[in-house]
Amino acid sequence: MKHRLLLFSGLLVFLALGWPTFAGLQQVSGLFGEARYDEARQSLVGAGEGAQPGEETLWRARLSQDPDQATVLLQSGIDDPSLPESTRVGMAMQLAQIHFSRKQYQEAHLILTALHENSTQTMPGEVYLLSGLTYRAAGQTQKAREMLASVKPGDQAFGAARYFLGDIGLENNDPELALRYFESGQKNANVHEYSRLKAGQWKALRANGQDQAAQNLLDELKAESAGCLALVEIGRVLQQENDDNSARIASASSAVVDTVVSSPDETAGRYALQLGAFSDRGLALEFQRAHQNQVPGLEISEVRDSMGQFMYKLRFGSFNNPALARSEAQRQKKKLNLDVIVVELDSSADLRR
């Protein structure tokens, strides 16, 4: 099934706010901003009079429901040197967003790198934001931080960049740094960004042991708006915690528990725990030997990534209950002092050893 360009992730909601608006197609832009996409498509027909060169092509791509068609339109515009540079920059950003939404991170990275290196204009914050998230998706956290930190206060993408910097801080067990990012991004943030930043602030306060401050923030949010997005996110976190607690209770009281397995079989569960991933099998073997006494049943799974390259992933355990898997991952993380993540196994790839 094809992705629909207008149903991107929350990331692209942030980015869409910074897309340029051209005078020649104000009505199309207004309808798009109100999420009235069908009307925007109808308005686009015959609305190109007075538009800048390439402007109509850019809007056709934005309103397309077929990412392959949009990709062709955008690439043709990017390759046309007669178009204004600002238009070609907008097209390149749109094309990078399409690749990112389809998890084609290498393609997105190449486009964004070309923007940084070749454009004579000052790049808008969305370029650094998407570059940072592309680096993060590729596992290059430090590069991601550098790009996200390049978004300046006052830029439309600043709040989004601060949110993701805070999220990386939480991921790296640095709640104090995360808290500073979440708080600094709230000034002049739009409603959507503000809600996400508030939810992040709540998580950072709890992770930093400031439970009373977190509760005060939660009460404040409830008083402001019972249906705000921050409360939805906080509710999701609390529900997951309840599921994890229920799983721990069930694990302690039940004689039948999920167990670690040393090789795949027909009774293997849907989830496993992963300690690391390597592109070099020799490094994976060294890691396995170094930890095999601490982690009985630690196995190497050979899988292909999205670029067709082999990856060697160190995994153990077999779980049918995802909440129980998360609970065990937290226990093992404290025991081993290593990052432990829950992975969902795919019989056609992830179970191949």
Residue 155 belongs to a domain: no
pLDDT for position 162:
95
pTM above 0.85, yes or no: no
pLDDT band at 265 (very low <50, low <70, confident <90, very high): very low
Among 7-16, 26-35, 171-180, 229-238, the range with the most confident prediction by mean pLDDT is 171-180
- For the cut 90, the answer to whether the pLDDT of residue 163 exceeds it is yes
- For the cut 60, the answer to whether the pLDDT of residue 137 exceeds it is yes
- What pLDDT, in 10s, does the model give residues 43-74? 656 555 555 666 777 777 777 778 888 888 88
Judge if 251 and 276 occupy the same domain.
no
- What pLDDT, in 10s, does the model give residues 14-25? 444 344 444 445
pLDDT for position 34:
56
Average pLDDT over residues 244-264: 50
> Domain ends where: 196, 230, 257?
257
Percentage of the chain lying above the pLDDT 70 cut: 73
Residue 340 belongs to a domain: yes
- For the cut 80, the answer to whether the pLDDT of residue 161 exceeds it is yes
Q: What are phi and psi of 300, to 5 degrees?
A: -100, 120
Can you tell me whether residue 144 is helix, strand or coil?
helix
Judge if 26 and 146 occupy the same domain.
yes
Helix (H) or strand (E) holding 319, with range, is strand 310-319
Alpha helices per DSSP H over the chain: 10-16, 26-33, 37-44, 55-63, 67-78, 85-101, 105-118, 125-137, 141-149, 158-171, 175-184, 191-207, 211-224, 229-253, 281-291, 322-336
CA distance 87 to 54: 7
Judge if 136 and 175 occupy the same domain.
no
pLDDT for position 147:
94
Locate 113 and state its tokens: 């790198």
pLDDT band at 273 (very low <50, low <70, confident <90, very high): very high
Contact 208, 179 (CB under 8 A): yes
> Domain ends where: 257, 285, 313?
257
Judge if 10 and 143 occupy the same domain.
yes
pLDDT for position 181:
96
* Range from 95-109, 278-292, 336-350 carrying the lowest mean pLDDT: 336-350
pLDDT for position 8:
36
- For the cut 70, the answer to whether the pLDDT of residue 226 exceeds it is no
Judge if 236 and 278 occupy the same domain.
no
> Domain ends where: 232, 257, 282?
257
Residues contacting residue 82 through CB under 8 Å, at least 6 positions apart: 53
Residue 349 belongs to a domain: no
CA distance 187 to 183: 8
pLDDT for position 346:
64
The CATH number of the domain holding residue 333 is 3.30.70.1070
pLDDT band at 349 (very low <50, low <70, confident <90, very high): very low
Average pLDDT over residues 256-268: 43
- For the cut 90, the answer to whether the pLDDT of residue 293 exceeds it is no
- What pLDDT, in 10s, does the model give residues 71-92? 888 888 888 888 888 888 888 8
Number of domains within the chain: 3
Average pLDDT over residues 315-319: 90
pLDDT for position 204:
93
Instruction: Give every strand in the sheet of 299-304, ordered side by side.
Output: 299-304, 310-319, 271-278, 341-344
* Higher-pLDDT residue of 328, 149: 149
Judge if 253 and 282 occupy the same domain.
no
pLDDT band at 248 (very low <50, low <70, confident <90, very high): low
Q: Name the maximum alpha-carbon separation found in the chain.
A: 74
Average pLDDT over residues 246-271: 52
Average pLDDT over residues 227-242: 80
Helix (H) or strand (E) holding 342, with range, is strand 341-344
pLDDT for position 255:
39
Residue 263 belongs to a domain: no
Judge if 144 and 230 occupy the same domain.
no
Residue 266 belongs to a domain: no
Q: Which domain holds residue 290?
A: 271-344
